[in-house]
Amino acid sequence: MTLTQQLFFRFYAIIVISLIAVGWFINLLWSHSNTQEDDLSQVEIIVYLTSNQLELLSPDEQVEYLEKLNSQKQLSFSLLPQSQVTIFGAEKGVPHANQLVVDEENSLFFYKLIPSSNKVLALEVPKYHARNTYDFFWLTGFYLIIAAIIYLTTRPLAKDLLDLEKASSSFAKHNWDAKVDISQTSPVYHLAEAYNQLLTRISQLLNDQKEMSHAISHELRTPLARIKFSLELAQNTEDSQTIKKQLSSITDDINEIHSLIEELLNYASLEKESVKANIEKGDIIQLLEHMVDKLTPHTNEVLLTLKSRASSLNIYCDSYLIERAAQNLIINGLKYAKSKVLVSISISQNHARLIVEDDGPGISPDDYQQVFDSFVRLEKSNNKKGFGLGLAIVRRIAQLHSGRIEVSRSKLGGARFVLSIPQPENPTLP
């Protein structure tokens, strides 16, 4: 449901429910406070009983009876010719309970025909003047209550929008920590979350840019200095062996620079939002056997072993990305291992797990999260070759698979990396 739909249905429901609830409540109070209808019913009964009494009296007695009744009860009875009431009532009268009721500006007139004569009994009753006052009071109260409900509903929304505005202003001032804390019940919660994610992403990109600039300048400075030194030595000698040695050193330094650039390009390509994992079914055992055979000649007497209970195991993944992740994890293990690196694969609870362990110095628990950041090289690895991007690339590959990468202490004594890739419960891929 879009934000527009959420806001519409929320406020529509609030207004409709408020109208029904407040209208019912005010109607209940009004029914208790407004007694005019009851008064009118009583007047009709009085007129009816009086007309019945007059039918039993002579014309003179009727006049005398009404005068006595008016003086004792402070009423306004009178006898009128039937013709006068007929003409008058045809214009303004409203039949009501076998009586004719005429509504004038300040009074109500009740007319009842006396069958035994050509006279009509008329009674004038002053209007209930307080009704207009009560109508205005209840109507004003109704709109005030509706206004209060709408205000109480929109006030938190206005506050949340104001918080977003303040955060945006701080963002414009390069304050990357100006996140918005909004309740999940707020209509603009998703907007605030999107803003916080954007802020985190921009902050991360800026930090990566700083770290990249620092790392590139640091990593390039050393080989460039060596290249400059080798060129000076080659220029100042005529010995061919010395020149060859310096040229070989320059070649190694150029290869190191090339590796750095290649690693940076690989990292940058994976950081693009458009990059998606091409999930397909493949044999992970065959992929790892190929990787072990490829890296074994470069292990420097470190024993690289692939442990698997099966000769073939199909999983769903991007084989190109998983091969790169496996290579980075194995190379990292070979870099720090004393004598052995163990690679294994398993599937459980709908997850495929690639595990790489070594018997090296291991990683401090305090660095378990930091080790996957880009351009991070721990103190114990300062004397090792590398640019601090290998494990960052592995983490990005795990994210592209909606998986995770974790590090812990290995039973071998060194580090234990576990790359976990979710697998479908009901695979539909071939």
- The H or E element containing residue 102 is strand 99-103
Ordered by start, the domain boundaries in the chain are 3-33+132-172, 36-128, 189-270, 280-422
Digit-coded pLDDT (tens) for 22-37: 777 766 665 655 545 5
384-404 mean pLDDT = 83
Q: Is the pLDDT of residue 102 over 90?
A: no
Contact 314/282 with Cβ under 8 angstroms? yes
Cα 10 → chain centroid: 15
CATH superfamily of 280-422: Histidine kinase-like ATPase, C-terminal domain (3.30.565.10)
Q: Is the pLDDT of residue 88 over 50?
A: no
The mean predicted confidence, pLDDT, of the chain is 78
154-160 mean pLDDT = 78
341-366 mean pLDDT = 90
Q: Please, which pLDDT band fits residue 54 given cuts at 50, 70 and 90?
A: confident
At residue 138, the pLDDT reads 65
At residue 130, the pLDDT reads 43
Q: What is the pTM of this model?
A: 0.53
At residue 55, the pLDDT reads 83
Q: Which residue has the higher pLDDT, 424 or 24?
A: 424
Contact 18/146 with Cβ under 8 angstroms? yes
Q: Do 189-270 and 280-422 have matching folds? A: no
| Range picked from 67-71, 102-106, 157-161 for highest mean pLDDT | 67-71
108-132 mean pLDDT = 73
Q: Is the pLDDT of residue 430 over 70?
A: no
Q: Could you give the residue ranges of the DSSP H alpha helices within 236-301?
A: 240-270, 284-295
- What DSSP designation does 404 have? E
Q: Which residue has the higher pLDDT, 31 or 365?
A: 365
Contact 164/198 with Cβ under 8 angstroms? no
122-131, 313-322, 339-348, 400-409: least confidently modelled range:
122-131
Residue 53, both tokens = 């009494």
Q: Is the pLDDT of residue 94 over 50?
A: no
Digit-coded pLDDT (tens) for 290-341: 988 888 887 778 899 998 877 888 899 999 999 999 999 999 899 889 999 9
Q: How far apart are CA 302 and CA 54, in angstroms?
A: 129
At residue 96, the pLDDT reads 46
88-102, 228-242, 416-430: least confidently modelled range:
88-102
The CATH topology of domain 189-270 is: Helix Hairpins (1.10.287)
Sign (positive or negative) of CA dihedral 399, 404, 405, 406: positive
Q: How far apart are CA 388 and CA 376, in angstroms?
A: 5
Q: How far apart are CA 319 and CA 312, in angstroms?
A: 15
Digit-coded pLDDT (tens) for 382-392: 555 666 788 88
Residue 430, both tokens = 């071939």
Q: Name the β-bridge partners of 351.
A: 348, 422
Q: Is the pLDDT of residue 139 over 60?
A: yes
3 state SS of 331:
helix
101-125 mean pLDDT = 77
Cα 417 → chain centroid: 34
